[in-house]
Amino acid sequence: MTETFLTRAGYEKLRHEIEELKKRKTQLSHDIAEAREKGDLSENAEYHSAKDKLGEVMNRINTLQDKLQGAKLIDEIKAPKDTVAIGRSVTIKDEDGDESTYTLVGADESDPAEGRISVYSPLAQGLLHKKAGEKVTVEMPAGAREFTILKIGASA
């Protein structure tokens, strides 16, 4: 199992989702009880639908609880401030001279369109533990690319 890295905001978001799912679970349990009262369960679509939804909600709650239980908060990870690490933002320049800034986050909070890339992505893996000014060659799905690390900062 891969480690789950979360920002404090990401951790709280998952905790909130669990609380909402627990409320939904209570409602679905109530719906199932009502459907039982209507008689023959073999032909009761409401009962079967509510039961299926309850199973999905329970699976999601269990998945989220497992993630939270094993989660490492990015805010608490100690790494040298001048080194690319999870939770840090990094500004890079590619071979064409284009600059990009990314924040390295856990897979659950990854959103490349927002500049948040998974620490497990090929780009992040190639940048980890490097310092500003270093040139790195990263094996990307489309082939090797060269990048220069311009700046390393706190998380964005």
Q: Provide the domain limits for residue 62.
A: 4-74
**The pLDDT of residue 91 is above 90:** yes
Please tell me the pTM assigned to this model: 0.71
3-state secondary structure of 78: coil
pLDDT for 137: 95
pLDDT band at 103 (very low <50, low <70, confident <90, very high): very high
The answer to whether residues 132 and 121 belong to one domain is yes
CA distance linking residue 144 with residue 51, whole number of Å: 50
pLDDT band at 123 (very low <50, low <70, confident <90, very high): very high
Closest C-alpha to 117, from 147, 87, 82? 87
Final residue belonging to a domain, choices 31, 49, 74: 74
How many structural domains does the chain have? 2
pLDDT for 110: 92
The answer to whether residues 68 and 39 belong to one domain is yes
49: enclosing H helix or E strand: helix 45-70
The answer to whether residues 65 and 89 belong to one domain is no
What DSSP string runs through 89-128?
EEEEEETTS-EEEEEEE-GGG-BGGGTEEETTSHHHHHHT
Q: What is the pLDDT of residues 1-28, one digit of tens each?
A: 457 888 888 899 999 999 999 999 999 9
Q: What is the pLDDT of residues 31-69, one digit of tens each?
A: 888 877 776 666 677 778 888 999 999 999 999 999 898
pLDDT for 75: 73
CA distance linking residue 64 with residue 38, whole number of Å: 34
The answer to whether residues 83 and 147 belong to one domain is yes
CA distance linking residue 44 with residue 19, whole number of Å: 29
